[in-house]
Amino acid sequence: MLIVDDQVPFREAARAVIARIEGFELVGLATSGEESIRMANRLDPDLIVMDINMNGIGGLEATRRITAQLPMALVVLVSTYAVDELPSDARQSGAAAYLSKDDLSPRELRRLWESGGDVEWRIA
């Protein structure tokens, strides 16, 4: 799993969540969209937790580029937005799901991983 966020507190919180999920291994922490693209191509993670708002290449564009190169990677977008406040192109980014940062938990990540994403996210 690769965690991508430009804020240290969230990266550390996400790292703690991952540590509590049996069978999940953190392979990298990226601080920007640019870094996430390079790391994803090098590490080939199965699961990526991707912040939407970052300076430079944002999470949506990074997700587009990563999923174009690694179509089997499951990307879960995270942010502080309510679902109805997401940027209009978020659902077309190639991400498999969206979670509010407040809802990131071992249970939710396991559920999304085991189901291959959120079906409602993909059809809405």
Return the pLDDT at 119: 82
Kind plus residue range of the DSSP H or E element containing 75 = strand 74-79
Question: Which string of b and e fits 71-109 if b means at least 16 CB within 10 Å?
Answer: eebbbbbbbebeeeebbeebbebbbbbbbebeebeeebb
Grade residue 122 by pLDDT with cuts at 50, 70 and 90.
Answer: low
Question: Taking the domains of the chain in order of start, what are their residue ranges?
Answer: 2-123
pTM given for the model: 0.94
For 51-92, what is each residue's pLDDT tens digit?
Answer: 999 999 999 999 999 999 999 999 999 999 888 888 888 999
pLDDT over 70 at 123, yes or no:
no
For 17-38, what is each residue's pLDDT tens digit?
Answer: 999 999 999 999 999 999 999 9
CATH superfamily ID and name for 2-123: Response regulator (3.40.50.2300)
pLDDT over 80 at 124, yes or no:
no
Which of these, 16, 82, 19, 45, lies nearest to 30 by C-alpha position?
45
